[in-house]
Every structure is written in C-alpha cells, then in structure tokens.
Chains A and B, each alone.
Chain A
Amino acid sequence: MSAEARPASVLPDNPREDFLRAIAHELRTPLQALRMLVEVQRRAAEAGQASDPGLRSRIESQFERLAEMIDQISEAGGRRDPELRPEPLDLALLLRRLTEGRIEMLRVPAARTRHILRYRGPEHATTVGDRRRLKQAFGNILDNAVKFSPRGGVVELRLEVDPREFCVQVRDQGIGIPSGEIPFAARRFFRGSNAPRENFPGPGLGLASARAIVEKHGGSLEIRSEVNRGTCVTARLPSEARTH
C-alpha cells in the first residue's frame, strides 16, 4: 500500500522532529527512573539497611529497557532485521518470569490505578530461539497492553502449545485500536488516532519490533482489537526451531 493511502494516524505531520522528540522522551524516562531508584538504594545503604533484591531487579530492568530501546532505534533507523542468537530455551519459563518482572515493575503502593497481570499456560515449554529478543518482543507487547490501559484492568499473557506451534496471546482491556487502523498497527511509527502523543508518548516502534522478532523466528503476529474494549495480540511461533 502506498504512503498516500494510509490513514493519517500512521504518518505524523513532521516525521523527523516527531520521531526525535519521541525518542528523547523514551530515553529520558528510564534515565529518570534510574536516578530515583539509585538514590533510593544509596540512601538505604547510608542508613545501613540490607540491600533490597526487588529494588536491584527494578534497577536492572531499567538498564535492560534502555538497551532494548537502543536496539529498536538502531534497527528502525537502518531498516535492519533483528539479529538472532538461537539457543535452547523454556518459553513458558521466559514468559512467566517476564510477567513476574512486569508485576514487580508496576508495583506502586501509593497509587490507586491497578493493573492485574497474569500468566496462563504450562509450567514448561522447550524450544529453540533467541532468549533476549523473544523477551524483548513479548515485553513490548505486554508494555503496550499496560500503557494503552490507562485506567488499569486485567492484562493476561497466555501460552498454548500444540504439536505444530506455540501460541502466545496478550489480551488487555484498554482503549483499543480503531478497526480501519488495525492492519497498520504493527508498522513502524504507528499511532492510533485515539492515542494522541501528548497522552501516550512513544515513537511507535515496540509492536513493529515485536513483529520483526517473531517473524524472524518463523512465526507470525496477529492483532484483534475493539475501541474501548481492548486489544488481543497473538504471536504464533513454530514449535520446531526455524530461526532464519
């Protein structure tokens, strides 16, 4: 489809400036979080308190968030496919830990809005794939589900295994995507017309990067959505290792 035929929401007015501003914001957010979390750790150490493993893992998550963003920016800028380093892995364990990590990251005791994140699926499901990149792909999908559910709600990550494929589904109760825009939602720089940048910052790379990673593993990504009801992103990965 030509650029002219795309809905206006896919193409920003000033693409370069818009993109650079969004990237700057994306990088500042984990940096700001790091400054605060490191300060919490420094003050705890000064007070002679024992090191908090939860806090340490939150700090590590912010570093990972920065590294993943840099990968996404560099691949989007060079229009490169993600590079994979396949290895045997337990996909169920990866998804479970990813969900647990996000639950820990979303824990803000003083806040009223709550997201309920849960994993549904088998305890174990072994396959071959790039652990880091799959974590990044499903992390992006989970983060989008949370971000576009600003009033909270349930975000469920489900894994189903059959002899041919693994089916990973992330379902939220968020603002959804207008039906005419769904075919473009996993393209770079996509922004739904119901998600203005002033309220939902971000350069629009997360879902595109997730799709590229899933496809590079020989899989596919499908999006179903209804405005104000929620979105369901389904990734299908072949159960046999077919990374390419």
Chain B
Amino acid sequence: MKRILIADDDPSILDGLSTLLSRSYEVVAARNGEDLLAELERRAFDLVLLDLRMPLVQGEHAIASIHATRRTLPVIVMSGNRGRIEEALRRGASDSLAKPFGFRELEEKIVRLLGAPAKPSPPPPPAA
C-alpha cells in the first residue's frame, strides 16, 4: 500500500482527509511543519499533501526541504491563496488544490501522480 503524508494545521481537515485516504493508502498526519519534516526523516513516502499555511515551518520552505533530498517525491499543495499556489508550483510542487476542494478532485490528482491504488484484498472465503 502506498504511503501518503498529509500536513495541515486544522485538525478537522486533517482528520477528514486521513479517514478518506486511509481506505486506499497508508496515511501519516502532521499538524505543523516541524512534524512534517520529522516524519520525512523517519520513513519513506510516496506523496506529500501539503497545506501552505502552517505553524513553525511554512509550506514553501517545506517544499524546498523536501526537494533538497527527495527530488522525485510528488507534492500536492493546498491553499486558498492563488498567489501562494503559483509560487509553490514555481518552487517545484507537482500539483495544487484550491481550498475548499472536493475529495474526488484530490483522488484524481493522486491517481494521476501515483497510479490507481491497490485494491483492498477481498475478505477470506467463509470456512467450509
């Protein structure tokens, strides 16, 4: 199962996104920029979903840190600010979502970057 790191300081957004994505991916959540960078040091991820406005380390700086060592790791940025989205794309973000976005839009972007998620294994057949 592919692993996604989500960073957003709003717990309700983080919880909703984690719940929805955890059906198809392994999800790790970070509530600030420091936790995001610490998680990236701790294990490998297939994709980062990043809110640009975060405490401790801003999204733009996080993109620079990510790409300094993991050039190919896709990053999707989330923001309500078009200017910041454009700046993040210039700095190497793979794609963007303008808040408030729908989950289907996010799913499509992830599939475009990672391919279709592995189907959950079917339940075992009932015992004879």
Contacts and interface: CB of A to CB of B under 8 A. Distances in A.
Interface of A: 21, 24-25, 28-37, 39-40, 43, 58, 61-62, 105-113, 147, 150-151, 198-201
22 contacts: A21-B81, A24-B80, A25-B53, A25-B81, A28-B80, A28-B100, A29-B10, A32-B10, A32-B99, A36-B15, A36-B103, A107-B15, A108-B14, A108-B31, A110-B6, A110-B14, A111-B31, A112-B29, A150-B34, A150-B55, A151-B32, A151-B56
B122 to A, nearest CB: 15
B12 to A, nearest CB: 4
Contacts of A39: 16, 20, 102-103
Contact of B102 (A35, A43, A147, A199): A35
Interface residues of B, number: 37
A35 B81 contact: no
A199 B30 contact: no
Contacts of B103: 35-36, 39
B20 A36 contact: yes
B28 interface: yes
Contacts of A24: 80
Contacts of A58: 12, 15
